[in-house]
Structures are given as C-alpha cells and as structure tokens.
Amino acid sequence: MRIRLDIAYDGTHFRGWAKQPGLRTVQGTLEAALARIIGSEAQLVVAGRTDAGVHAAGQVAHVDLDEGQWSRIQTRHGKAAHDPAGSIASRIRGVLGAYPDVTVQRSCEAPEGFDARFSAVWRRYRYRLADDGAGFDPLRRHDTTRLRGALDETAMDAAARSLIGLHDFAAYCKPREEATTIRTLLDYRWERDADGVLVAEVKADAFCHSMVRALVGACAAVGEGRLDVGDPVVLRDALERTSEFKVLAARGLTLVEVGYPADDLLAGRAAQTRARRDGQSTSE
C-alpha cells in the first residue's frame, strides 16, 4: 500500500531532510514516529530533499507499507479503523506531540502510479528577504533573511525574469558527480509584501543543490548595485561557479508547493523523469 503524506516543517533546528547518522533530520524524525505506529521501519521518498535550515509548507512524500504494516493501520484498539490511510497523519501528529517543528498535515492512499519525487512536474519555493526598508517581525525571524542597506526590487525583478527558461544552471548549482544541471525555470519574480519584505517566487521542474539560494543571491547583488541587471544571465551562460555573488542563507527559503499531473498521467511522468534524470538530485 502506497501512502501519500503532505508535510510541513520549520527547518531551523533540522540538519535538512535526508536521514544522517547522529543528526536530527526531518526524514529521521518522521520515520521514527511512523515506526511507532506501524511496528517496524519504513522509508519515506520525498519530492525535494531540502537542505539544513530550509523550511517547508507543502512538502510531499510517499511511503510503501507491507501487508503487516498496513494491517496495523487498519486496526486500532482492536477495532477496524475508519479511513485508515487518512488516520496516519493524525496518529503521527499524536506521536510528535502538541507543538512539534514538523507535522504531517494530510495522508491518503496514493493514486496508481504516484511517486512523490518522480511524478512531480514542478516545485515552487518562496524566499523572504528584508532590507532596511522592511519592518522587523519577531514572529518571522526564522523564515526571513536580513541584508543591510536598501535593495532595488525593480532591478531584482527584471534580473529574475531574464533567467526564466530551459538552461544549464551549472553556475547556480553545487556540482554533484554525474548529475545534470539543466533545468527549466518556469517562474522567478520579486515583489514587496505589505510589510516591505522582498518576496521571491521561484518555480522550476526541479532544482539542483543550492540553486534557489544562488539565484536569490545573484538578484540580491543586483538589488545592491554590485551587479548589473544583465549580469545574472551572463554568469549563467558562463556555466561556472562564481564569487560575484553570495549564496544567501537557508533561513529565508520555504518549499511552498509541489505540482503533479492528473492521476492517469502519474506513472508516465515518473517513468519519463527517471529516464531523463537517473541519479540526479532534485533538492534545494
């Protein structure tokens, strides 16, 4: 039985998504909670393996339960459970406690052919960046990065939009052996919210390691006047990592949403993605 899980977390005190020995991670925390419910270990497969400090409001994962594990879900306190797949989320929340920094918002039986990672057609991130023109909200200190000075949001937005399209983003990715850096950037834009905070929306078919924070750093350098509006494209097309801008902090970054095709297209999408990106990371 394959179960889809919709997940949210404050990444501040996690060392990223992926389970690592001796470190507190989102995957490790959730798998430990799930094991208490199903009586044995099961591995989560995630849409995007976020880095240390990165948050999520719309992360998606799946887990495959064997016959014995599913049987434990179907029966609770000696009685048949109502909506056993849907009850997994509430039972995990019960294990995690009243005020956890990670939660499973929803759970359901996954449609035929669904794969949380390979069936996804896009991921959307949001980055919050405050300059001297923005107010400081203590309640948002964990998901907002601050830079000194005033940033030119018009120039930043123009630079961001110029990067959209299918390109090799090697200049904006940490290199990983045998992993392609070709991505389709579907949307990238900047605007100020009601509090004056600069907010970026970044959407792509997938992201390679540190790509979003590098894209944000390049446009922040434009906003500061250290780069011209056209420089991010020039740097991208050079296909080499550069010291012309800084990769900004993880704290401002949140995975907001993962998009999937219609149910009857899920299996085909997963097969297509595996063939095209075998061994490639889709993490931020």
Residue 51 CB partners (closer than 8 Å, separation 6+): 16, 17, 209, 210, 250, 283, 284
The Cα 251–Cα 144 span in angstroms is 6
Q: Is 131 a catalytic residue?
A: no
Asked if residues 258 and 123 have their Cβ atoms less than 8 Å apart, the reply is yes
Q: Per the residue annotation, which of 10, 51, 157, 231 is the catalytic one?
A: 51
H/E element, 272: helix 266-276
How far, CA to CA in Å, does 282 sit from each of 91, 145, 146, 222, 223? 29, 23, 27, 27, 28
Q: E strands along the chain, which residues? A: 2-9, 44-46, 55-64, 75-76, 79-80, 102-109, 122-130, 145-146, 165-168, 182-192, 198-204, 253-259
Contact assessment for residue 38 and residue 64, using Cβ atoms and an 8 Å cutoff: no
- Side-chain half-sphere CA neighbours of 54 within 13 A: 26
Indicate which residues carry an active-site annotation.
51
